[in-house]
Each structure stands twice: as C-alpha cells, then as structure tokens.
Amino acid sequence: MTAPVRIAVAGLGTVGAAAVGILRSSRELVAARCGRPVDVVAVSARDRNRSRGVDLSGCAWYDDAAAMAAEADVEIVLELIGGEDGIARAVCERATAAGRHVVTANKALLAHRGRELALAAEETGAVIACEAAVAGGVPVVKALREGFAGNRISRVYGILNGTCNYILSTMRQTGRGFDEVLAEAQRLGYAEADPGFDIDGIDTAHKLAVLAAIAFGCEIDFSGIHVEGIRQVTADDIGYAEELGYRIKLLGIASDTGDGIEQRVHPCMVPVDAPLAHVEGVFNAVVAEGDAAGIGMLEGRGAGAGPTASAVVADVIDIVRGARLPLFTVPVSQLRPARTVPIDRRTGPYYVRLTVVDRPGVIADISAALRDEQVSVESLIQRARAPEDAVPVVLTLHETREDAVQRALARIAAIDMVVKPPCMIRMESP
Amino acid sequence: MTAPVRIAVAGLGTVGAAAVGILRSSRELVAARCGRPVDVVAVSARDRNRSRGVDLSGCAWYDDAAAMAAEADVEIVLELIGGEDGIARAVCERATAAGRHVVTANKALLAHRGRELALAAEETGAVIACEAAVAGGVPVVKALREGFAGNRISRVYGILNGTCNYILSTMRQTGRGFDEVLAEAQRLGYAEADPGFDIDGIDTAHKLAVLAAIAFGCEIDFSGIHVEGIRQVTADDIGYAEELGYRIKLLGIASDTGDGIEQRVHPCMVPVDAPLAHVEGVFNAVVAEGDAAGIGMLEGRGAGAGPTASAVVADVIDIVRGARLPLFTVPVSQLRPARTVPIDRRTGPYYVRLTVVDRPGVIADISAALRDEQVSVESLIQRARAPEDAVPVVLTLHETREDAVQRALARIAAIDMVVKPPCMIRMESP
C-alpha cells in the first residue's frame, strides 16, 4: 500500500468532529476501499481547548484555518466551518489556489460563490466536492452527476430541510399550530434559536441552487430563486390538505422549462399517494426526472453529524480513488446560462384559503373576481356557519398560470367581506 | 477534445438498442459530461436483419459477440445479452482478458460467476461495471459502493423485482387472486410467459447476491440465499395484512449479523408506515443502513429499456471519466468470506394463516403446539363461523427464532382439524 493520503480539517463542530471520528475509527475500512490509508494530520478550529470527544493526537493545530489550507502539507482540505463568506471562503480559495482538493458541506458558500470557486479550482486542477452540502447522508449529488449522467434531467425537486419537514409532519400528526410546534422543535434541538434560515426557506434555496446547477449543468443562480417559507402554514391548512388527499411539504423545485430554469422554494400540497408525501420528520428526499431513467427518488437523513460526516468521508474516498469531476458536472466554461423563469409563469393547480364574513353574497363576489381573471374553480368548501362572523372558505383552482391567480387574489383581497389576506398554497403533482 | 472512446455492444435487445440510442442521440451531452465523445463502433446480435429502431450505420457487425469482445478495437464492451453462462460469459471473459472494460446488466452471470470475472478483470486492469444489473435506472450500486463508502453497512434490502411488486400491488388494490393478476401481468408485458424466474424469487436473489457482495465487501454467495417466491400469497393474506397495518412485499434482505451474512428472499409483511410499503407497481427500491449515514432509500424504475440503458450509459461515462473501482468494492483478495447464516436463525415476528375445521377445541390444540415450542402469540383472528367447515385462523407471533416457528408449524400441520399446510409470512420492521 502506498503512502497515506494527508488531510486537513477546518472546523471541528459536530460535523468536523464526526468526520475525524469516522476517518480514525474506520481507518482500515477506508484504506481498503481507497487502496490507500487516509490520515488527518492537521486541524483548525476557533477554540483549541474545547473537548470534542475525538482523538486529535498527532494532528498539527492551526489557529488560522486559511493559513492551514494554504500551507499544510496535505492533499485534501475539509471545509466544515460554514457561512457564505469570511473564513470558510478563504479556506476554499487558498486550498484550491495551492492545488489542494476541497471537500465542503457549505451550501451557502456554494450558492453564493460556487462559480468563482469552481473556476479557481479548475485553474489548478483541484477538485471541489460537495455531497455533504445537500441532503446530508443521502448521495444525491452523486446520483445526479453520475448515476443520471446518461439522462437529460427535466426536473429535480425535494424536501431539503429537515427542520421544516419535522414541523410540518408534527403539525399534521398532532393537529397543533405552527408556533407551538416550532417551540417544541427548538427545545428538541431540531430548530435553531433563530430559526429564520430554515423556516423562511433560505437553507432549502441554497441547496436547490446547488442541485439545479449540478442537474442541468447551468450557472448557479441563487438570486433567481423564488423563496417562501412555512410561517404562514396553519393547522387549518394542514387539516384541509388531509381532507383533499394531500400533505403540505416545503419543496425546492427546479425545472428545465425549455425557456430557462424555473427555481422555486415554497410550501406545496403533494398528493398523499406520491412518495414524497411519506417522507416525514427530519428526513430529506430528492426526486429527479430523467429522459431515460424516468423518476428516481433518494431518501434519508438530511442533517446531523453522522449523516453529514458520512457524505464528507464519501467525497474524500472518491477523491482518493481518483474522481476528478467538475463541481457542477461540466467545466465552468460549458455551463448553460441560468436564464431564470419567473414564478409568474408557473402553471398548476392552487389551494386558496380565505377568511370571510359569513354573509350572503360573499361567494358570489369571490366567484366574480375569479371569473374576471379566467380562473376556474375545482372545489369550494365553506363548512362553518357563523352569520356575520369570520369563517374560512377553501377553494381549489384548476391548472392556471400564477400571474392570473395573483391578480384574482388581489381582487379578492380587496372585497370588504374578505377580512384577512388570502392564503395560497401551490398544488404539485410529482 | 481528445479522440472518441470506442465502444462495442454485444446484444441488441431492448436494452442494447436503447443504450445505443442514448449514446447516439445524446452524443453531445455525453461528450460534455465525459470530456470525450463516445462512439459505438461495433455491434453484435443474433439476427443481423431485424429492425431495432436504432441507427447502426458506421458500426462494424460481428456475428460472433465473443470474437468482437476479443478483437474489436474498442476500450469498452457492453454485455447486454444476459444469461448466467454461454455467450454472455464468453463476452465478459474475452473482453477483460484483452484488457477491455465491461459494462454489464447481467445479474445472473454476476451471481454465479462474479468472483472469477472480478479476478480476471483485476489481472488485466479492466473494469467490470454493473449498475444496470440491480434496480435498473436507480443508482444503487453507486450509492452503496461510493455514496456509503464511509459507512459500515449493517443491512441492505429492498424490492428488486418489478413483476412481483406489480402483482402484489395489484392484488392489494383490486382484491383479486394471484393467478388472475399474474395472467393480467402477462398480457400487459409485465410478466414473462414463463414467469418462474421472477415470481419464484430467483431474479431477486441474483440481484441480492450482487448487492450483498458490494455492500459488505464479501464473496458473492448465490447458493447461500434462502429463496421463496410469491406463488403462495393469497388475496386473503393481503387482506389480513391490510387489517393488521401491513403490506406484503417480496424483499431481498442481506444483513451482516456479526456471525456472518444472512441473505434471504421471501414475501414479507412491511408496516404500512415504512417507506418501502409505498413503493408500488413496477417500481424498485433499495434501503441501506449505515453506521454513520443511518437509513437511506433509493427508489425508481427497476426495469425496462430506458432505465436499464440509463444505468449502462452511466457506467460508460464513469469509466471514461476514469473510475476504476473493483467490482465488489474491494479487490477479490480482500473480500470477506461469505459465511452464510441459515434462515433457521432469523429472529422476528411472524404471520401465520391456518385453514381449520370450525369445531370446539381446535384453537386449544394450536395454542398447545405453540406453547410446546415456546412460541408466543401476539394476536389471533378467527372471524368466520361455519361449524364443521374449513375456516381461516390468522395468528401473529411475537419475535421468535425461525427454527422454533418451523417446529411449531410442523406440530400444527399434524393436527387433524388443520386441513391445509400452514401459510407463514415473516414480518419485517424496516
């Protein structure tokens, strides 16, 4: 067996420590699968004195992770710090500039700086590998870039944020409201103290940007993504969804429309017999549609130290085995332009929940607003009776273009008897 | 761009023709993803004059596929003939002997001759790639060998035969019996005229043998697999499963028990809330359990020309990109011995359906037989009343070792009032 592959680890949070743990405890297994042993020889983190439950003996310590990336005598640098800028970015830039391969779990960095990083890596022949950036332990990057390499992919979508899926699943299972379930998720460690990054859809959008670039071989275009989170989803919506034969999931969806790439993140109603409807709790799942393979779905643990470290180590093993793929499937010079299709042009069915004063004529006014925008109603539920009080009215709309729906909802919102802003959820039939 | 990669295709059935079709129609896409164009330059099939709906102009024709594998000036040979011996085997042997890489969809050949083929390939540095051999378009080989490379895999199992899954799904959805649904599947082209290979579990066992060797890095051991098919599953069993909160699926299951590798193929009751329960119709799915990643599942189209050809082309692209992995994850010299654990030692809950004469005392006799073998009953359903006629009695048994269950069933079968051989289905909690 040849000399060990030398690795530096930047960031020793839960994922970094777990990656070091696997590489140390499974050293023989990794060596057998790579044909060479793999040794962690340098590490860097903020606090040298913190105990991390992992043996760092024999590792050179660097206070400055970027200096380590530039100087340490290693072949591969693991960037497990996170953040779209700052030290994480410096680590990746300096490692690739020095011709060292980078393995990163950093979707924010890739979503914002992916193009520059890919280009810089190509200049020195370094690899940037990012399986851990999307869907944790589930090998979705590999499935899209390699498993589906013989396909023109028309659509890739999925449940990419375990926090949101936990909240929506728990709301459905318990009938409780959003705020209460969020608070519980925070107590259980499934949601951050500042949950906006997850529940407002930003984390999902970062991951979707990476998936879309890999699936379509297109420029990464985070700013082109239409992003909505799950704060507006109520227990009522979840109940009505169930009644209509749907479940509500926060999906990231990227489609090659022929006209460009449509990328959007928002709550969706998914039919209960669709595989994605049964992906519950903190699990993630990604579906790809290829012209030859048809539909494929991958599901598993999308976050947590073990699953994310599993993906990091898989990338390390790939690189040691000789994998030298471009970050976004093809070299940067061959990436298609992003050409974002705006959400206005999304076409599909819609769910709308209105809060109206229970008074004769309100349905007629709503129906007129929909008719005026050529929007066709599929079903209408107005179950509660409470004359002169606010009651919910739930509509489902036949396949319509989004701009027409938006115009109709603006008209409806302006009706006196409609007492709250309309709530709209797109229905998807994956 | 460098010179095209030259490819020979042995076998132009639906899969071979579809693979040639993709390589021709998506030539630019494949070239962009590989960094080199890929050209089919030689083909061989039984009948030169048959129309296959694919352009073979410019391809050298060989009547003898083995001669083509040995002589054609190509880097990669696609073996898409099938069969565990004969010409398919000769193609693989002669191609690898000449140092040419082989891409094959042939699970029967791998299950029976995998070790010899892997060894022969290692001697010349040839690659044998087999993504298409298991679960069609779903990249399960890649997920296990690469995506889960940082994991010790404890168990891999799944729905590996679309014909059986179609039959079982349709029986559930329609309430119809096995023979009727099989006949329909044959009319629709989902089952062969001679269906034994699929419905008796042999095809699933071939695929399981390959998956187990890849997941555990162990010798391939087809003969060590306990194999049962689905002929014995009745509409009644499917109905009782539903009532108990389960669905019946034919699973291939391979576990690393610590004592050796347990490999078995048989109908299973799967809880309705398990992801596998929702894999319906001709779809396939594979679940892997890793020590770091946890549970991961892949689902998609497990058969058919497009999905299988998708996997073949993915392997071609991998090889052109430089992938040089051993067939079974590690070199043959490092494969663990198979050390098969017999089915007798399987431990878990069981479903048993008996046909008994409706007469006082029969339940007491059955209960005594179970007690004598220390088998504990979880539930008992005896719904029909028809004094002195045959009625079904359905039992579920608590977690028990299989040998005890088998002894108890032998005692029960010997009771006069038990008028048919007991039907037993293992319950799995994936």
A156, A155, A158, A102: which is closest to A130 by C-alpha?
Answer: A102
Query: Distance between terminal CA atoms of chain B?
Result: 48
Name the one residue in this structure whose structure tokens are 């049962």: B228
A122, A367, A158: which is closest to A275 by C-alpha?
Answer: A158
Provide the token pair at B342. Answer: 């017999």
How far CA A196 is from CA of A14, A64, A191, A263, B404, in Å, comes to 21, 30, 9, 20, 55
**Shared-domain flag, residues A391 and A275:** no
Confidence of residue A386 (pLDDT cuts 50, 70, 90): confident
B129, B62, B116: which is closest to B89 by C-alpha?
Answer: B116
Q: Hey, is the C-beta of A5 within 8 angstroms of any chain B C-beta?
A: no
Question: Residues near A292 by Cβ (< 8 Å), separated by ≥ 6?
Answer: A150, A151, B18, B22, B137, B306, B307, B309, B310, B313
Please check whether residue A281 is in contact with residue A363, taking contact to mean a CB–CB distance below 8 angstroms: no
Residue A412 identity (one-letter amino acid): I
**Radius of gyration of chain B, Cα coordinates, nearest whole angstrom:** 24
Q: DSSP letter at A418? A: B
Residue B385 has pLDDT above 90, yes or no: no
Q: Hey, is the C-beta of A154 within 8 angstroms of any chain B C-beta?
A: no
Q: Do A321 and B325 touch (CB under 8 A)?
A: yes
Contact residues, chain B, for A38 at CB < 8 Å = none
**Residue B398: its H or E element:** strand B390-401
Catalytic residues of B: 207
Asked if residue A135 belongs to a domain, the reply is no
Please list the residues that pair with B76 across neighbouring strands: B7, B101
- Any long-range contacts for B28-31 (C-beta under 8 Å, 24+ apart)? B29/A152, B30/A149, B30/A150, B30/B313, B30/B316, B30/B317, B31/B1
Contact residues, chain B, for A291 at CB < 8 Å = 306
Q: Do A292 and B136 touch (CB under 8 A)?
A: no
Tens-place pLDDT, residues A268-301: 999 998 999 999 999 999 999 999 999 999 999 9
| Mean pLDDT score, A346-355 | 97
Q: Do A295 and B310 touch (CB under 8 A)?
A: no
Contact residues, chain B, for A273 at CB < 8 Å = 278
Tens-place pLDDT, residues A93-137: 999 999 999 999 999 999 999 999 999 999 999 999 999 999 999
The Cα–Cα gap between A125 and A400 comes to 48
What's the confidence (pLDDT) of residue A205? 98
**Residue B16: its H or E element:** helix B14-25
B89, B98, B49: which is closest to B71 by C-alpha?
Answer: B98
Distance from the B324 Cα atom to the nearest Cα atom in chain A, whole angstroms: 8
**Shared-domain flag, residues B153 and B11:** no
**Shared-domain flag, residues B169 and B288:** yes
User: Half-sphere exposure (CA, 13 Å, Cβ side) for A328?
Assistant: 29
| Mean pLDDT score, B345-361 | 95
Of B33, B297, B310, the CB nearest to A299: B297
DSSP count for chain A of H helices, then E strands: 14, 16
What's the confidence (pLDDT) of residue B282? 92
Q: Do B293 and A32 touch (CB under 8 A)?
A: no
Asked if residue A149 belongs to a domain, the reply is yes
More confident position, A400 or B383? A400
The total of other beta-carbon atoms located within 10 Å of residue A184's CB is 16
Burial A128-158 (b: 16+ CB within 10 A, else e): bbbbbbbbbbbbbbbbbbbbbbbbbbbbbbb
Distance, C-alpha A73 to centroid of its chain:
34
What's the confidence (pLDDT) of residue B335? 96
Confidence of residue A405 (pLDDT cuts 50, 70, 90): very high
B152, B283, B299, best to mutate vs chain A, most A CBs in 10 Å: B299
Tens-place pLDDT, residues A13-45: 999 999 999 999 999 999 999 999 999 999 999
Asked if residue B322 belongs to a domain, the reply is no
The Cα–Cα gap between B96 and B177 comes to 47
> Strand A246-256 to strand A261-271: parallel, antiparallel, or no bridges (unpaired)?
antiparallel
Residue A400: which CATH number? Answer: 3.30.70.260
Q: Hey, is the C-beta of B272 within 8 angstroms of any chain A C-beta?
A: no
Q: How many structural domains are present in chain A?
A: 3
Confidence of residue B429 (pLDDT cuts 50, 70, 90): confident
The total of other beta-carbon atoms located within 10 Å of residue B393's CB is 21
Residue A397 identity (one-letter amino acid): L
As a whole number, the mean pLDDT across chain A is 96
Residue B355 identity (one-letter amino acid): T
* Phi, psi of A379, deg, nearest 5: -150, 160
What's the confidence (pLDDT) of residue B430? 66
Query: 3-state class of B8 per DSSP?
Result: strand
The total of other beta-carbon atoms located within 10 Å of residue A47's CB is 9
* Phi, psi of B265, deg, nearest 5: -130, 120
- For this structure, is A207 an active site residue? yes
| Mean pLDDT score, B157-176 | 97
Question: Residues near A199 by Cβ (< 8 Å), separated by ≥ 6?
Answer: A163, A164, A167, A182, A191, A229, A230, A231
Distance from the B377 Cα atom to the nearest Cα atom in chain A, whole angstroms: 31
Q: Do A278 and B279 touch (CB under 8 A)?
A: no
- How open is the CA angle B212-B320-A104, to the nearest 5 degrees? 70
As a whole number, the mean pLDDT across chain B is 96
The Cα–Cα gap between B395 and B370 comes to 11
Asked if residue A311 belongs to a domain, the reply is no
Asked if residue B183 belongs to a domain, the reply is yes
The Cα–Cα gap between B137 and A351 comes to 34
Distance from the A282 Cα atom to the nearest Cα atom in chain B, whole angstroms: 12
Q: DSSP letter at A340? A: B
Q: Hey, is the C-beta of B24 within 8 angstroms of any chain A C-beta?
A: no
Please list the residues that pair with B155 across neighbouring strands: B255, B289
Comparing alpha-carbon positions, the chain A residue that sits nearest to B307 is A293
* Phi, psi of B372, deg, nearest 5: -65, -25
Contact residues, chain A, for B150 at CB < 8 Å = 22, 26, 30, 309-314, 316-317
Residue B1 has pLDDT above 60, yes or no: no
**Shared-domain flag, residues A53 and A161:** no
The total of other beta-carbon atoms located within 10 Å of residue B392's CB is 19
| Mean pLDDT score, A365-373 | 96
Domain limits at B181? 140-302+328-343
DSSP count for chain B of H helices, then E strands: 14, 16
Least confident of A29-43, B230-244, B378-392: B378-392
Please identify among residues 213-232 of chain B the ones whose CB lies closer than 8 Å to any CB of chain A: 217
Q: Hey, is the C-beta of B281 within 8 angstroms of any chain A C-beta?
A: no
**Shared-domain flag, residues A117 and A180:** no
Q: DSSP letter at B360? A: T
Instruction: Please name the residue ranges forming H helices in B107-195.
Output: 107-124, 140-142, 162-174, 178-188
Residue A166 identity (one-letter amino acid): Y
**Shared-domain flag, residues B155 and B203:** yes
Among residues A91, A107, A129, which one ends one of the domains? A129
Please check whether residue A90 is in contact with residue A20, taking contact to mean a CB–CB distance below 8 angstroms: no
A94, A128, A74, A43: which is closest to A312 by C-alpha?
Answer: A128
Question: Residues near A148 by Cβ (< 8 Å), separated by ≥ 6?
Answer: A215, A288, A290, A293, A296, B139, B310, B314
Question: Residues near A23 by Cβ (< 8 Å), separated by ≥ 6?
Answer: A7, A30, A38, A39, A40, A313, A316
Asked if residue B317 belongs to a domain, the reply is no
Confidence of residue B388 (pLDDT cuts 50, 70, 90): confident
Tens-place pLDDT, residues B4-40: 999 999 999 999 999 999 999 999 999 999 999 999 9
**Shared-domain flag, residues A125 and A145:** no
**Shared-domain flag, residues B251 and B235:** yes
Among residues A282, A311, A343, which one ends one of the domains? A343
**Shared-domain flag, residues A241 and A161:** yes
The Cα–Cα gap between B241 and B427 comes to 10
**Shared-domain flag, residues A288 and A164:** yes
Comparing alpha-carbon positions, the chain A residue that sits nearest to B272 is A278
Question: Residues near B428 by Cβ (< 8 Å), separated by ≥ 6?
Answer: B157, B251, B253, B268, B269, B270, B348
Please list the residues that pair with A400 across neighbouring strands: A348
Contact residues, chain B, for A298 at CB < 8 Å = 143, 296-299
Residue A103: which CATH number? Answer: 3.40.50.720
Among residues A284, A316, A343, which one ends one of the domains? A343
**Shared-domain flag, residues A102 and A206:** no
Q: Hey, is the C-beta of A191 within 8 angstroms of any chain B C-beta?
A: no
Question: Residues near B25 by Cβ (< 8 Å), separated by ≥ 6?
Answer: none
| Mean pLDDT score, B50-54 | 89
Residue B342 identity (one-letter amino acid): P
Asked if residue A319 belongs to a domain, the reply is no
Comparing alpha-carbon positions, the chain B residue that sits nearest to A328 is B33
Query: Distance between terminal CA atoms of chain A?
Result: 48
Residues across chain A: 430
Contact residues, chain A, for B325 at CB < 8 Å = 321
Question: Residues near B368 by Cβ (< 8 Å), separated by ≥ 6?
Answer: none
Asked if residue B63 belongs to a domain, the reply is yes
Please identify among residues 323-362 of chain B the ones whose CB lies closer than 8 Å to any CB of chain A: 323-325, 329-330, 334
**Shared-domain flag, residues A61 and A112:** yes
Residue A144: which CATH number? Answer: 3.30.360.10
Q: Do B301 and A299 touch (CB under 8 A)?
A: no
